Amino acid sequence: MSVDKNYYIKTYGCQMNEHDSEKIAGMLEEMGYSSTDELEEADLIFLNTCTIRENAELKVFGKVGSLKRLKRENPDLIIGIGGCMMQVEEPVEKIKEKFQHVDLVIGTHNLHKLPELINEIEENDERIISVWEQEKGLIPDLPSVRKSDFQAWVTIMQGCDNYCSYCIVPYVRGHERSRPKDKVIKEVKKLVKDGVVEITLLGQNVNSYAQDLEEDYDFADLLTELDQLDGLKRIRYMTSHPRDFNEKTIKTIAESEKLCEHFHLPIQSGSDEMLYEMNRGYTKEEYLKLIDLINKHVPYNSITTDIIVGFPGETDKDFQETLDVVRKARFDMAFTFKYSKRSGTPAAKKEGQIEEDVKDKRLQKLMDVQNKISMEENEKLEGKTLEVLVEGESKTNPETFMGRSRTNKLVIFPRKPGLIGKVVKVKINNAKSWTLYGEVVKT
Ligand code: 5AD
Ligand code: SF4
């Protein structure tokens, strides 16, 4: 039992990792550790890493290097690294050899073993590298320390069987495994009892929820059941795959009360050839049909996406197809990325890798086109009143609060006491590409 000790967690990457960090915090607090925001005060520092693009890795190595000084000043400090990057051989080898000040390396599949491994390090003062190559058994139920009192993530599945040719996720997160619906519903009920009003269901591919389970049950069925829960106000989910996003799910969302009208559907490219090479399982036309279907059933919505430029073999013509689909779909927002080679994935071995300066130019062009569309879509909201869940102080101005609309738009407005955690109506006065500014008209 560790008494009077502090932990500090730094998280890289996606929501899945953010939620894992809440579980890491949960396990550490059960061991008697308390949280600190000051690196210098920590007895245990944990980096929860991401490996989706090379940049993510570079950031982690920068941070690991900078921790050397702290370890020198305090040899009892425990430095642990976990997360997706630790499921890849090269970075683990590098840490083993070059970063001797790291005490613990743990993978994504054995995260639940963290307390055991920390105890061993505390008792024997030894270095532990413990990474399981594969997942074993069910998704463990772990305690969790939430950052928010009224918002929560809920894991519904882990892993991914899609094998998009550019993506490292299936190799670091394992095969798709769904959590039984009874466990999910029980967890959500408990959260609601504790005051949570908004949940985000998490999985790398939520649309294939329960397909690996025995029951005749699917994602839309889960949404329908969760929509019935009294006290819960909003349901979100991520990430969706356009190939598996079916009409049943869209209709369920249209008919439900709590499901938010925000659709994040990563398109990745507008070129059929690139989509085929990426192993995405849909064409540009099929994707656009899906958007039409959403617009038909849920006319007031927002649609966002992820796009990669510079996938191996991408020609100017392919890139023009991406610009074309962006103009046709009129996304509210897009996360845009330059293709990053991940070793072990099929795309890394492809010929026709694209020069960095070509990727830069395409990314810039794509962002220019999308930002204009985002701005135009947001301007349509000026004068409208949106339902906003107030999250807290805005990052840039302490005199203002920030919250999100049901369509996941960031909304900023003058602060007023007693609003945090409440759903309020905000009239939008001024729109920017990323942010809406307004005033509360009804609490
Ligand atoms: N290079 C660039 N972007 C990638 N993504 C996933 N793998 C890569 C890669 N190798 C992007 C995809 C995905 C998002 C989470 O990250 O667009 O939807
Ligand atoms: Fe999330 Fe993928 Fe990064 Fe892992 S590699 S943290 S699953 S984005």
| CA pair distance 88, 143, nearest whole angstrom | 26
Q: Is the Cβ atom of 53 under 6 angstroms away from ligand 1?
A: yes
- Distance from the alpha carbon of residue 146 to the mean position of ligand 1, in angstroms: 27
- Distance from the alpha carbon of residue 385 to the mean position of ligand 2, in angstroms: 35
Question: Quick one: pLDDT at residue 322?
Answer: 98
pLDDT at 126 over 70: yes
Nearest ligand atom owner, CA of 268: 1
Q: Is the Cβ atom of 202 under 6 angstroms away from ligand 2?
A: no
Question: Quick one: pLDDT at residue 443?
Answer: 76
SS (H, E, C) 160-192: CCCCCCCCCHHHHHCCCEECCHHHHHHHHHHHH
Q: Read off the pLDDT of residues 403-441 as tens digits, 9 standing for 90 and up.
A: 999 999 999 999 999 999 999 999 999 999 999 999 999
pLDDT at 1 over 70: no
- pLDDT confidence tier of residue 214, bands split at 50, 70 and 90: confident
| 56 neighbors 50 (Cβ within 8 angstroms) | yes
Sheet holding 262-264, edge to edge: 262-264, 302-309, 333-338
Q: Read off the pLDDT of residues 303-338 as tens digits, 9 standing for 90 and up.
A: 999 999 999 999 999 999 999 999 999 999 999 999
- pLDDT confidence tier of residue 3, bands split at 50, 70 and 90: low
- What domains are there in the chain, each with its CATH number? 5-130 (3.40.50.12160), 151-379 (3.80.30.20), 385-442 (2.40.50.140)
| CA pair distance 212, 177, nearest whole angstrom | 7
| CA pair distance 443, 435, nearest whole angstrom | 21
Q: Is the Cβ atom of 87 under 6 angstroms away from ligand 2?
A: no
Paired tokens of 329: 């779909």
Name 21's Cβ contacts closer than 8 Å, sequence gap at least 6. 9, 11, 48
For the entire predicted model, the pTM comes to 0.95
Best residue among 11, 16, 204, 239 to mutate for probing ligand 2's pocket (most ligand atoms within 8 Å of CB) is 16
What stretches of 258-343 adopt beta strand conformation (E)? 262-264, 302-309, 333-338
pLDDT at 125 over 90: no
| CA pair distance 215, 130, nearest whole angstrom | 35
Question: Quick one: pLDDT at residue 298?
Answer: 98
Paired tokens of 64: 């690991």
| CA pair distance 416, 405, nearest whole angstrom | 18
Q: Is the Cβ atom of 14 under 6 angstroms away from ligand 2?
A: yes
pLDDT at 138 over 90: no
Which residue has the least CA distance to atom 3 on ligand 2? 50
Q: Read off the pLDDT of residues 221-259 as tens digits, 9 standing for 90 and up.
A: 999 999 999 999 999 999 999 999 999 999 999 999 999
pLDDT at 142 over 80: yes
Per the prediction, the chain carries an average pLDDT of 96
Of 224, 232, 216, 229, whose CA–CA distance to 249 is shortest?
A: 224
Task: Please tell me whether residue 17 adopts helix, strand or coil conformation.
Answer: helix
**Cα dihedral value 206, 207, 212, 213, nearest 10:** 90
Which residues sit opposite 128 in a β-bridge? Answer: 104
pLDDT at 349 over 70: yes
Q: What integer is the mean pLDDT of 21-46?
A: 97
- β-strands 33-35, 44-49: how paired? unpaired
